Amino acid sequence: MKKVAVILSGCGVYDGAEIHESVLTLQSILKHGGSYQCFAPDKPQLHVINHLTGEVAEGESRNVLVEAARITRGEVKAVTECNADDFDLLILPGGFGAAKNLCTFAVEGPDCEFDGDVLSVCKAFADAGKPAAYACIAPALAAKVYGNSVNLTIGNDAGTAEALEQFGIKHQNCEVTEVIIDSGAKLVTTPAYMLGQNLLEVGEGLDKMVQAVFAMQ
């Protein structure tokens, strides 16, 4: 059984982890015989978005770990408790939280800062030669972790791809139902809602992502 560490970035597409992507990924892990433990940073999120209006909820503050617990039905740990030695692989679903709370790519592009605890965990998996998968905009973190001409995708948005290439990666355009595999880096990426229009096609891509990263040794 593959033991998977999953890092979430809150709860909700505009300011946290994308809920559909997170749930579909967890379902796929179980469907293909794996188990998972979710983690998230224990810190305030960048800001709170009213998901009905799309506007910033001025004066509100929410904690990334507490919000992630909404997705996991309470079963989530602080990312500082994630030890790469305890898992076979790592997966990061997307959502703007990945680019706002795990790093600041959403607001600062290639000049962004990265959450030190999250980056440390991601690098630990990479340095140990353990497979990892990043969905949607989460490859912004993978670009920092791997760099050095690694192949990855966020779909086909030229501006975002160009910004990511400043980390030294090679971006490849990819359909929502497909994945990009870098066998050397043991990295799998898929566009998910960076490109997807509905649950079915996003779910197909995420399922292929899980299957591909499970197949890596």
Q: Distance (Å, rounded) from C-alpha 77 to C-alpha 155?
A: 30
Catalytic-residue membership of 122: no
Strands 180-182 vs 187-190: parallel, antiparallel or unpaired = antiparallel
Set 11, 112, 122, 136: catalytic member: 136
User: Please, what's the b/e burial string for 40-76 (b: 16 or more CB within 10 A of its CB; e: otherwise)?
Assistant: bbbeebbbbbeeeeeeeeeeeebebbebbbbbbeeeb
Element (H, E) at 4: strand 3-7
Main-chain dihedrals φ then ψ at residue 182, nearest 5 degrees: -110, 100
* DSSP E strand stretches across 45-185: 77-78, 89-92, 132-135, 151-152, 170-171, 180-182
What sign has the CA pseudo-torsion 151, 157, 162, 164?
A: negative
Q: Which residues are catalytic?
A: 136
